[in-house]
Structure 1
Amino acid sequence: MPNPRLAARYAKSLVDISVEKNQLEAVKSDMDFLKAVINTSREFKSVLKSPIITADKKSAVFNAVTAGKVSEITVAFSKLLINKGRENVLPEIVIEFENQYNKLKGINIVKFITAQPIGEDLKSQITAKLQADAGISNIQLQSEVDPGIIGGFILEYNNRLVDVSISRDLADIKKQFLDNEFVLNIR
């Protein structure tokens, strides 16, 4: 079961200790590595979440996967999580660490979803337009392709959503017909 409050507390502790030890960038790269492992290895994620596997075996698996690839702070942090029985929250902690890192560094994540892939020129134009109109800086643009939106785009940033997709327009039209808004306006 996801526990965002717990993940936020552990992530904040990890950010604080890594800043204190001047290892923030090293721990950030460790979290990127762990995120990639968690996203690509279903078995690793299953081991972390399994209540049947003992802490010793989880520790051995974690050490085998991360041996020589993560910093001492991350190794100590993972040992703490495993000893406390909180290793099942690691995927959420990794995501929350990334969020807190971005907030600390002033990085704004912008998600741009289109029906077709876009080029680098259009990405730079979108970034420039957002910087000028929305007043946000230090933008990290994440473009995604979703053919289900048919056309147009969806833009997400700073808890805002701009949806000018064809699928949204079609859904709005369908809702209007189902609600019979046009019939009521005729009478």
Structure 2
Amino acid sequence: MSANPLALKIATPYARALYDFSVEQNIMHQVTADFQNLEVFLTKTPELTEYLSNPVIGVKQKEDVLTKTLKSQLNSETFKFLMVLVKRDRINLLSSVIVSYLELVYKTASVKMIEVSTAFPFTTVQKLNLIKKLKELTNAREIRLVVTVDSSLIGGFLIKTNSKVIDFTIKNQLENLAKHLDGVLEI
């Protein structure tokens, strides 16, 4: 979910244009599904992202790689959009375009993207309970959790939304206790 602010600024007009086009053509659901799948795929294949971002590699080679790897997996309009990014030498912004596009879709659909860092993976019941509580707190119709496991948190979890950070981690509680004790013990 986190991305380079400058890249997001450049990527936003592309995302907005694709969003408007997908709404106009009544293909928003297909494009959104493509981008959700692409987001996962790019996360699992960092070498593809590096290849596409490499300025030494030519447009034709990038088009060929995308055609071989993604053309059969994507809606034709989504694939054409990727080719536009390649031709305009903006394919290196693909991850930022995906983030911007999905934010537009989620905002329209009242879906909140929330990042959660936890020391241990959530069980299904814990995840469902957290989603239920977050729906109540944010008044969203749907919550999309992006969960990362970070064992340095020791226990508990950290919730990040657009404007708030809620820290229920043991690491944070220990740091606060240490600060308190430092203040009390300095006489």
Scaled to the shorter chain, the TM-score interval is 0.7 to 0.9
- Hey, what does 1:138 align to over in structure 2? 142
Q: For 1:51, which of 55, 58, 80 is the aligned residue? A: 55
CA 1:46–1:80 in structure 2 vs 1: closer, same or farther (change >3 Å)? same
- Hey, what does 2:15 align to over in structure 1? 11
CA-to-partner distance for each residue in 1:28-72, whole Å, 9 max, x for gaps?
Answer: 121123222321222211221111111111111111111211112
- Asked if 1 retains the 8 angstrom alpha-carbon contact of 2:110 and 2:140, the reply is no
Q: For 1:165, which of 166, 169, 172 is the aligned residue? A: 169
- The 3-state SS of whatever aligns with 2:116 is strand
Residue 151 of structure 1 and its aligned partner are, at CA, apart by 1.7
- Hey, what does 1:181 align to over in structure 2? 183
- Hey, what does 2:84 align to over in structure 1? 80
- Asked if 1 retains the 8 angstrom alpha-carbon contact of 2:12 and 2:101, the reply is yes
Partner Cα distance (1:158, 1:39) in 2: 21
CA 1:133–1:3 in structure 2 vs 1: closer, same or farther (change >3 Å)? closer
CA 1:147–1:63 in structure 2 vs 1: closer, same or farther (change >3 Å)? same
**Which stretch shows the higher mean deviation, 25-34 or 105-114?**
105-114
- Hey, what does 1:129 align to over in structure 2? 133
Q: For 2:107, which of 88, 91, 103 is the aligned residue? A: 103
With structure 2 as the length reference, what TM-score do the two structures score? 0.85
Residue 158 of structure 1 and its aligned partner are, at CA, apart by 4.1
Aligned length: 183
Unaligned runs of 5+ in 2: none
Q: For 1:89, which of 93, 100, 116 is the aligned residue? A: 93
Identity fraction in percent: 25
> What CA RMSD, in Å, does the superposition of the two structures yield over aligned residues?
2.2
CA-to-partner distance for each residue in 1:61-85, whole Å, 9 max, x for gaps?
Answer: 1111112111121122112111111
**Considering only CA atoms, is the larger Rg found in Structure 1 or Structure 2?**
1
Q: For 1:31, which of 32, 35, 41 is the aligned residue? A: 35
Aligned residue identity for 2:129: Q
- Asked if 2 retains the 8 angstrom alpha-carbon contact of 1:108 and 1:158, the reply is no
CA-to-partner distance for each residue in 1:121-146, whole Å, 9 max, x for gaps?
Answer: 22232233333345443223344432
Partner Cα distance (1:137, 1:36) in 2: 23
- Hey, what does 1:154 align to over in structure 2? 158
Unaligned runs of 5+ in 1: none
**Which stretch shows the higher mean deviation, 147-156 or 52-61?**
147-156
- Hey, what does 1:21 align to over in structure 2? 25
Partner Cα distance (1:63, 1:11) in 2: 21
Partner Cα distance (1:61, 1:161) in 2: 40
- Asked if 2 retains the 8 angstrom alpha-carbon contact of 1:109 and 1:141, the reply is yes
